[in-house]
Amino acid sequence: MSQAETYAVFNGQIQPLEKVAISPSDRGFLYGDSLFETVRVHNGKPFRWEQHMTRINSGADIIELRLPFSPDEFLGQTEKLIEQSAKADCIVRLTVARGVGERGYGLTGNELPNSLITIHPLPKPGGPPLTVVSTDARVANDDPLARIKSGNKLGSILAKRLAKRAGADDGLILNSDGNITETSSANVFWIRDGTLRTTPVSDGVLPGVTRGLIIDLASALGQAVREESVSPAELQQAETVFVTNAAAGIRAVGQVDGVALPGHPLVGQLVEAYAAELARHADRAG
């Protein structure tokens, strides 16, 4: 599909993406005063839509951003865009910016939010295990803003840039205690002493939608799951490490800060369980 054939939904209306115009005074552009969700679309149906809407609503409550449409209205717009674009398997990004306001950081409460829904290709499946490195990107422990998916992602941009500079695939973001929170765009899981573990939200972690699903799938497989803090040195001692997000699902990590890590059968089991959940979702939605 060429750029001229690419469509978006802007403030509820489908239009060519090249026709979308956002004011240079929009606070989302000026300050990152916005929220977004990245949603997997499988067989034409948005996956885990309710969970994504729960998170964006929670974020809107925290920063007092009025969402211009209900979850059902956003869903209807998204489904029309998927149909218009003829993309059965893709990624949808929903962004809501606060809109034009007065200069400065203060709010009047009269801002009119802008919403934008766009479609993007899925990452290529498979590939070798990822290499990740610790970076200088930091987040504060229990930072409430770390729990929302805001348009201010400079920490993630820094982590990704430093990782690429080091020749790695992705960068680890640490918190004020020196423990790992997540990568630039994914939650972190590892296995130690036979137990599946992941970093707690209180460490400054975004509560990923896929993270929550993997915890549920692991429990269904009879695998204990524990939330606990982990330093880079401790992660190097894990039996295996993998990361999760909505776009890529589950990706194995083969190296942490130059230390090679083995694989584990549980990762393959979770990949199969995730694929089965995608298929069930398509059947239910169909």
Give 20-65 pLDDT, tens digit per residue: 999 999 999 999 999 999 999 999 999 999 999 999 999 999 999 9
Round to whole Å and give the CA distance between 205 and 245. 13
Question: CATH number for the domain including 200?
Answer: 3.20.10.10
Domain end point (choices 96, 120, 144)? 120
CA angle 124, 128, 133 (to 5 degrees): 105
13 with 113, same domain: the answer is yes
Predicted pLDDT of residue 284? 75
Query: What is the distance, to the nearest Å, from the Cα of residue 179 to the centroid of all Cα atoms in its chain?
Result: 20
By the 10 Å C-beta count (0-12 exposed, 13-18 middle, 19+ buried), 14 is classed as middle
151 with 16, same domain: the answer is no
Q: Quote the domain boundaries for residue 150.
A: 130-281
Domain end point (choices 120, 150, 166)? 120
**Which is it for the CA torsion 79, 207, 67, 159, positive or negative?**
negative
Q: If we measure between CA atoms, which residue out of 172, 203, 199, 198 comes closest to residue 185?
A: 172
> Does residue 76 sit within a domain?
yes
pTM: 0.94
Across the strands, what pairs with 198? 189, 227
Round to whole Å and give the CA distance between 218 and 207. 17
256 with 177, same domain: the answer is yes
56 with 153, same domain: the answer is no
| Total number of domains constituting the chain | 2
- The single-letter code of the amino acid at 278 is L
Structure-block tokens of residue 160: 């990704």
70 with 212, same domain: the answer is no
Predicted pLDDT of residue 229? 98
Mean pLDDT of 236-254: 97
116 with 157, same domain: the answer is no
CA angle 53, 59, 61 (to 5 degrees): 105
Question: CATH number for the domain including 63?
Answer: 3.30.470.10
> Does residue 125 sit within a domain?
no
